[in-house]
Chain A
């Protein structure tokens, strides 16, 4: 029974015990140590392993490697993004400051103009009063 299992494992996985299920390697080694004639089972499997290993393994071309690497994830341009953020911040702050300055200047100017106009109006009204008095009083 044990020899049959050894044969089944060799038929499936070949002669290299590293390819065998980890749980059965120790069993196989002890079985082989106890009965050297069973080594023939592994020899037969090894002959096919040698043939399989003769099949060529393709080597990736430089062009294929380059195409794949060209599509690899890129790190984000952190430094540049930092500058863009700063520039955006400065621009925003500039606009806000300009807007505030505009409001302040507008209010100041309007106040000045209003004061002048009020003074002119009072003076004008006072002249009108004088005219009226003259006209009324003769």
Chain B
């Protein structure tokens, strides 16, 4: 078995020993990533904070008993955060709401142009309305910059299945955003 090279190994060991500087470094390194993951998976800032906090607290509990070489700590932390996100997404489906789910904002007409912030909100809304598994694939590969092998392992699917989810997800995003980036939508008729 090939030993896994983990850039966080030493840091996690020091965290487990109660080194406050190491804890600060780990938070600076991981919290923004995990918060972004949760925000993009859930589309809700408050829930994303809860998930990020819970994932980091689990990391604190795991650090003293972390066994190096079995897995990358970053991958483990992503797995924890994704599980927490899926718990919440499942709960949302189980609890019916009176208000219908919001649809992506069509936004202003293209000829008026969009501010960067508005573009960002449009993209976030389009991402939120992707099917969960497509969104997860796009988030892991594009935003979290995990390799295809890491992302497929996290999602417990083959690399081929991951590529299929990614292609369908990106195609849906191109269509949803075609009015603000016509260039991105070219070739959809293939």
Interface residues on B, range: 35 or more
Interface residues as binary, A11-43 with B (CB distance below 8 Å gives 1, 0 otherwise): 111100011111000000000000000000001
For chain B residues 97-138, which have a beta carbon within 8 Å of chain A?
116-117, 119-121, 123-124, 127, 138
For chain A residues 26-72, which have a beta carbon within 8 Å of chain B?
43-45, 47-52, 54-61, 64-65, 67-69, 71-72
For chain B residues 1-54, which have a beta carbon within 8 Å of chain A?
15-20, 23-24, 27, 31-32, 35-36, 39-40, 45, 48-49, 52-53
A83 within 8 A of partner (CB): no
Which listed residue (B15, B149, B162, B183) contacts A73, Cβ 8 A?
Answer: B15
C-alpha spacing A43/B143, complex, angstroms: 19
C-alpha spacing A70/B112, complex, angstroms: 48
C-alpha spacing A54/B164, complex, angstroms: 24
With A64-B53, A72-B15, A75-B17 as given contacts, are A12 and B170 in contact (CB-CB < 8 Å)? yes
Query: A75 to B18, Cβ gap below 8 A?
Result: yes
Query: B187 to A44, Cβ gap below 8 A?
Result: yes
Query: A52 to B35, Cβ gap below 8 A?
Result: no
Which listed residue (B31, B48, B184) contacts A65, Cβ 8 A?
Answer: B31
Contacts of A9 in B (CB 8 A): 163
Query: A13 to B53, Cβ gap below 8 A?
Result: no
With A68-B27, A72-B23, A73-B64 as given contacts, are A56 and B184 in contact (CB-CB < 8 Å)? no
Query: B184 to A44, Cβ gap below 8 A?
Result: yes
A80 within 8 A of partner (CB): no
Contacts of B31 in A (CB 8 A): 60, 64-65, 68
C-alpha spacing A55/B123, complex, angstroms: 6
What is the predominant secondary structure among interface residues of chain A facing chain B? helix
Query: A21 to B36, Cβ gap below 8 A?
Result: no
Nearest-neighbour CB distance to chain A for B38, whole angstroms, equals 9
C-alpha spacing A61/B27, complex, angstroms: 12
Query: A51 to B177, Cβ gap below 8 A?
Result: yes
Query: B145 to A56, Cβ gap below 8 A?
Result: no
Query: A14 to B177, Cβ gap below 8 A?
Result: no
B174 within 8 A of partner (CB): yes
C-alpha spacing A8/B56, complex, angstroms: 36
B83 within 8 A of partner (CB): no
B166 within 8 A of partner (CB): yes
With A60-B52, A69-B24 as given contacts, are A51 and B16 in contact (CB-CB < 8 Å)? no
For chain B residues 137-164, which have a beta carbon within 8 Å of chain A?
138, 141-143, 145, 147-149, 159, 162-164
Which listed residue (B39, B145, B170, B183) contacts A11, Cβ 8 A?
Answer: B170
Query: A58 to B127, Cβ gap below 8 A?
Result: no
Contacts of A57 in B (CB 8 A): 32, 36, 39, 143
Query: A55 to B40, Cβ gap below 8 A?
Result: yes
C-alpha spacing A14/B163, complex, angstroms: 11
A-B contact pairs, 18 of them (CB 8 A): A8-B163, A12-B166, A13-B141, A14-B142, A21-B147, A48-B181, A49-B142, A52-B142, A52-B173, A55-B123, A55-B127, A58-B45, A64-B53, A71-B60, A72-B15, A73-B16, A73-B17, A73-B23
